Chains A and B, each alone.
Chain A
Amino acid sequence: MSLKDILTPFTAWGNIVKEPITIKDPINNRPGAPRYRGFHKNDITKCIGCGSCEEICPNNAIDLLPVEGIETKDGDSGLRPRIDYGRCCWCGLCVDVCTTGSLTLSNEYKWIEEGNADAYRFTPGVDKKPWDKNELGWNKPVPNYEFYALDRVEMQELEPNKRDNSFIEIVQGFSKEQAQLEADRCVECGICVAACPAHMGIPAYIKAIRDDDLEHGLNILYDTNPLPEICGRICTHKCESVCSLGHRGEPLSIRWLKRYIADQNPSEEYKKILETENIEKNGKKVAIIGAGPSGLSAAYYLALLGYEVKIFELYPEAGGMMRYGIPEYRLPYDQIDKDIDYILSLGVEIQYNTRVGGDVSLDELKEKYDAVFAGTGLHLGRSTRIPGSDHKNVYQSIELLSKITKGEEINLTEKIVVIGGGNVAMDITRSLARLQKQKFGKVQIITTSLETEDILPADVEEVVEAREENAVINPGWGPKSVEIIDGKIKGLNVVRCLSVFDEEHRFSPKFDEDDKKFFEGDMIVESIGQGMDISYIAEDIKSSIEFGPRGRIVVDKYFQSSAKWLFVGGDIIQGPDVIHGIANGHKAALGIDKYLHH
């Protein structure tokens, strides 16, 4: 043995003064990597309980459960995900698919709790955990990491300069490729269904588009809505406003997809597709007043149930506000006809140019028919009643819109002021702008409303498109008086509107009388809402009907009034919009069936 052999082991002692490279206490202090996929976190105020996490989970580890204190409401199921960690494989797909971005994974991977083995299952964000505030962990990487496109497939629309002097339809509709691409974005959560007044089977018909089974799609549409061409164009699409995709991107174009299904099915095939070629009559008769959305919807579902249905319509053509209110560039007449003609093909009869309460009395209908449905709508324009509003050149939007439909002459002037901020105000603004362009070659129209831009009741796209067509939209002003000199209208005096509603959300506008403005114009159009005309209900019948606040007829959930034979629905009960009318008509049809058979 050499000296070296003896001394060498002692060289190891040299290490005693070196910094150790091992971690001293690995068990107590070993954090997960920054993007480690550990236990879940959920921002439950952001989560809407759409269930996409549950749907995508490859291990069935997620359940959706109600949580105390979280209410089920439009756009929020009130459910929240609970994770079973006996199954979770920490793949993170639930985070990646999350529509709101509320679900994340912390980088905590240790969880030690005494006692209950079921503690290994918890509702993130609800059951408080030590890692709730961990900022590290797995978040969906942004941008460019998406399971579905955040942007809509763009809808082709006529350019402003190609549409501003005609009433040609603006929206061009989806091609098959576009529709399927857009339908592909749907996560099928079904949050939209509750928000739709007709509770249409939205995820199912969108799936039908993906599957390219448009006949099945049409069947789903007609389960709840017999006016799909119309709704596919002008529905107020409450579904889209709650669409889960809208939380991080653009909501699904549900309305355009509905239109796509209706557009692609030829009308001559409808009876075959919808299996309505042979409907057995039940021998009972129902009269309907008004061929608007609610009346047509009631007629359709009653006809399906075998009733003989006759609609009494004041105007020369059917459709109500859909034809005489909504302009043709949004809803072409041939599309209205397609929906209505199909309903008529089931044997529904319409007696046009007939005023109930004039040409025929409600009493007569009561005698001749087993039940009556009234969907007479809101056809009386409301006036601001400001000084000068009784001038002959102050019009109601609703009368002008129906004149345009009928092709009647309008006493058009070069400068027009419209009062109103809703969709009807935009309809009349854009219609008059087109007529001005045709007649004078330029547009000079100002539309003003009490509501400021941020709370305008009109759809944003309506306002944007009106501006594209050179109308001036100047919201936030309260009309004070119509300026009249020598019997001629010179314009509208307005003052700044500070707020429209009071704290209890009642209509109670407040003005700054010192902040004045003058809108020049030689014609004023009021578009501040419509009222109902139920003068067709004679006094003796009226006395048997219960009325609620503001003269509204009280109805039950089937839209049955306290005069049992009389059902009432549509804008005079709920809305105003087409889809509520359709839903009301459908329910009333079921109610009439119950009333006449039980």
Chain B
Amino acid sequence: MEQILQDIGKQFKITDIVKKRDNLNFITCEKEQTISLITYLRDIKGFSHFVLLSVVDWIEDGVFQLVYFLNNPDKKIDIGIRTMISRENATMTSAHHLWEQIATYQRELKEMYGIDFPGSPRVDESFILEGWDDIPPMRREFDTKKYSEENFFPREGRETNDPEEYMKKKLYPDEEK
């Protein structure tokens, strides 16, 4: 693993390395180099298995963190490639040409986060949210509770209490301010 990391360092601009376990590392690289790095890992370093593509919404920093998870079945090691992309008009180069199934992940990210992958097959088609008419629901600015209140009716007979008011009612009902 060490050797692989060193080799990567010689050819790519790596901004961060997090060693989780002996057989698992996360490396962060720039957006422009990400697909080249993944290609390099697949073709030169034996990471022939694509595990998953995921994303973290760092809304405070205005970025999405994409994570491409690769596996080297011979060496039994995993690597996560992290890259930050802007949340504004979030776009990333498609990687479906490397593994066909990446198109499905990219389609999901388009639907759930609004991240576009131009050229990715069927990327604009609904994935699971047929008829969705709101902002992508996994973006952190999406107000799940508001959506829930507006779209799902409460079950009959539901009631609740605010702890502070309820305690006043029970413990000091007569007090006024």
With both chains docked as a complex, state the minimum distance between the C-beta of B135 and any C-beta of chain A, in angstroms.
15
With both chains docked as a complex, state the minimum distance between the C-beta of A79 and any C-beta of chain B, in angstroms.
6
Q: A263 on the interface (CB 8 Å rule)?
A: no
Taking a contact as CB atoms under 8 Å apart, the answer to whether B167 and A194 are in contact is yes
Taking a contact as CB atoms under 8 Å apart, the answer to whether B159 and A65 are in contact is yes
Taking a contact as CB atoms under 8 Å apart, the answer to whether A77 and B163 are in contact is yes
Binds A, one of B49-57, B101-109, B150-158: B150-158
* Residue from B159, B160, B176 whose CB has the most chain A CB atoms within 10 Å: B160
The CA-CA distance from A54 to B145 in the complex, in Å, is: 11
Taking a contact as CB atoms under 8 Å apart, the answer to whether B163 and A191 are in contact is yes
Chain B proximity mask over A45-62: 1 for CB below 8 Å, otherwise 0: 000011100100111101
Question: Which A-chain residue is minimally distant from B154 (CB atoms)?
Answer: A60
The CA-CA distance from A118 to B154 in the complex, in Å, is: 12
Contacts of A54 in B (CB 8 A): 160
Q: A34 on the interface (CB 8 Å rule)?
A: no
Q: A64 on the interface (CB 8 Å rule)?
A: yes
CB within 8 Å of A: which of B40-77?
Answer: none
Q: A545 on the interface (CB 8 Å rule)?
A: no
Taking a contact as CB atoms under 8 Å apart, the answer to whether A60 and B171 are in contact is no
Taking a contact as CB atoms under 8 Å apart, the answer to whether A64 and B161 are in contact is yes
Contacts of A587 in B (CB 8 A): 175
Q: B172 on the interface (CB 8 Å rule)?
A: yes
Taking a contact as CB atoms under 8 Å apart, the answer to whether A590 and B176 are in contact is yes
Chain B proximity mask over A182-203: 1 for CB below 8 Å, otherwise 0: 0000000111011000010001
Range of interface residues on B (Cβ < 8 Å): 20 to 34
Taking a contact as CB atoms under 8 Å apart, the answer to whether B172 and A199 are in contact is yes
Q: Select which of A58, A72, A86, A118 is within 8 A of B166 by beta carbon.
A: A72
Contacts of B161 in A (CB 8 A): 63-66, 77, 79
Give the A-B contact count at a CB cut-off of 8 A. 84
Taking a contact as CB atoms under 8 Å apart, the answer to whether A199 and B145 are in contact is no
CB within 8 Å of B: which of A571-598?
Answer: 587, 590
Q: A146 on the interface (CB 8 Å rule)?
A: no
- Please report whether the interface of chain A is mostly helix, strand, loop or mixed according to DSSP: mixed
Taking a contact as CB atoms under 8 Å apart, the answer to whether B175 and A189 are in contact is no
Taking a contact as CB atoms under 8 Å apart, the answer to whether A65 and B160 are in contact is yes
Q: A271 on the interface (CB 8 Å rule)?
A: no
Taking a contact as CB atoms under 8 Å apart, the answer to whether B155 and A121 are in contact is yes
With both chains docked as a complex, state the minimum distance between the C-beta of A61 and any C-beta of chain B, in angstroms.
8
CB within 8 Å of B: which of A236-258?
Answer: none
Taking a contact as CB atoms under 8 Å apart, the answer to whether A79 and B155 are in contact is no
Q: B144 on the interface (CB 8 Å rule)?
A: yes
- Please report whether the interface of chain B is mostly helix, strand, loop or mixed according to DSSP: loop
The CA-CA distance from A177 to B145 in the complex, in Å, is: 30
Taking a contact as CB atoms under 8 Å apart, the answer to whether A51 and B163 are in contact is yes
Contacts of A121 in B (CB 8 A): 155
Contacts of B148 in A (CB 8 A): 58-60, 87
With both chains docked as a complex, state the minimum distance between the C-beta of A304 and any C-beta of chain B, in angstroms.
11
The CA-CA distance from A446 to B29 in the complex, in Å, is: 65
With both chains docked as a complex, state the minimum distance between the C-beta of B89 and any C-beta of chain A, in angstroms.
26
Chain A proximity mask over B119-140: 1 for CB below 8 Å, otherwise 0: 0000000000000000000000
Q: A224 on the interface (CB 8 Å rule)?
A: yes
Taking a contact as CB atoms under 8 Å apart, the answer to whether A194 and B155 are in contact is no
Question: Which A-chain residue is minimally distant from B168 (CB atoms)?
Answer: A194
Taking a contact as CB atoms under 8 Å apart, the answer to whether B175 and A199 are in contact is yes
Given A199-B168, A199-B175: A64 and B145 interface contact (C-beta under 8 Å): no
The CA-CA distance from A376 to B167 in the complex, in Å, is: 31
Q: B88 on the interface (CB 8 Å rule)?
A: no
The CA-CA distance from A142 to B159 in the complex, in Å, is: 33
Given A65-B160, A194-B172: A60 and B167 interface contact (C-beta under 8 Å): no
Q: A223 on the interface (CB 8 Å rule)?
A: yes
Contacts of B152 in A (CB 8 A): 59, 86-87
Question: Which B-chain residue is minimally distant from A583 (CB atoms)?
Answer: B175
Taking a contact as CB atoms under 8 Å apart, the answer to whether A77 and B177 are in contact is no
With both chains docked as a complex, state the minimum distance between the C-beta of A275 and any C-beta of chain B, in angstroms.
15
The CA-CA distance from A223 to B177 in the complex, in Å, is: 7
Question: Which A-chain residue is minimally distant from B169 (CB atoms)?
Answer: A72
Q: B174 on the interface (CB 8 Å rule)?
A: yes
With both chains docked as a complex, state the minimum distance between the C-beta of B56 and any C-beta of chain A, in angstroms.
15
Q: A84 on the interface (CB 8 Å rule)?
A: yes
Taking a contact as CB atoms under 8 Å apart, the answer to whether A50 and B163 are in contact is yes
The CA-CA distance from A590 to B149 in the complex, in Å, is: 41
Question: Which B-chain residue is minimally distant from A87 (CB atoms)?
Answer: B152
Q: B2 on the interface (CB 8 Å rule)?
A: no
Chain B proximity mask over A65-101: 1 for CB below 8 Å, otherwise 0: 1100000110001110000101100000000000000
With both chains docked as a complex, state the minimum distance between the C-beta of A133 and any C-beta of chain B, in angstroms.
28
Taking a contact as CB atoms under 8 Å apart, the answer to whether A63 and B160 are in contact is yes
CB within 8 Å of B: which of A542-575?
Answer: 557
Chain B proximity mask over A350-369: 1 for CB below 8 Å, otherwise 0: 00000000000000000000
The CA-CA distance from A189 to B176 in the complex, in Å, is: 21
Taking a contact as CB atoms under 8 Å apart, the answer to whether A60 and B149 are in contact is yes
Contacts of B176 in A (CB 8 A): 590
Contacts of B22 in A (CB 8 A): none
Contacts of A194 in B (CB 8 A): 164, 167-168, 171-172
Contacts of A557 in B (CB 8 A): 174
Q: B162 on the interface (CB 8 Å rule)?
A: yes
Taking a contact as CB atoms under 8 Å apart, the answer to whether B162 and A51 are in contact is yes
With both chains docked as a complex, state the minimum distance between the C-beta of B47 and any C-beta of chain A, in angstroms.
26
Contacts of A189 in B (CB 8 A): 163-164
Q: B170 on the interface (CB 8 Å rule)?
A: yes
With both chains docked as a complex, state the minimum distance between the C-beta of A33 and any C-beta of chain B, in angstroms.
17
The CA-CA distance from A50 to B166 in the complex, in Å, is: 11
Contacts of B175 in A (CB 8 A): 199, 587
The CA-CA distance from A299 to B20 in the complex, in Å, is: 64
Taking a contact as CB atoms under 8 Å apart, the answer to whether B144 and A224 are in contact is no
Q: Select which of A64, A72, A87, A224 is within 8 A of B170 by beta carbon.
A: A72
With both chains docked as a complex, state the minimum distance between the C-beta of B134 and any C-beta of chain A, in angstroms.
14
Taking a contact as CB atoms under 8 Å apart, the answer to whether B160 and A191 are in contact is no
With both chains docked as a complex, state the minimum distance between the C-beta of A241 and any C-beta of chain B, in angstroms.
15
The CA-CA distance from A511 to B175 in the complex, in Å, is: 44
Chain A residues close to B by CB (< 8 Å): 49-51, 54, 57-60, 62-66, 72-73, 77-79, 84, 86-87, 118, 121, 189-191, 193-194, 199, 203, 223-224, 557, 587, 590
6 additional contacts (CB under 8 A) given A59-B148, A77-B166, A84-B155: A51-B162, A58-B144, A58-B145, A72-B167, A87-B152, A189-B164
| A-B contact list, 27 entries, CB within 8 Å | A49-B163, A51-B163, A57-B145, A58-B148, A60-B149, A63-B158, A63-B160, A64-B163, A64-B166, A65-B161, A66-B166, A72-B167, A77-B161, A77-B166, A77-B167, A87-B148, A87-B155, A118-B155, A118-B157, A189-B164, A190-B162, A190-B167, A193-B168, A194-B167, A223-B177, A224-B177, A587-B175
The 4 A-B pairs at the shortest CB distance, nearest first, are namely A190-B164, A58-B144, A63-B160, A77-B163
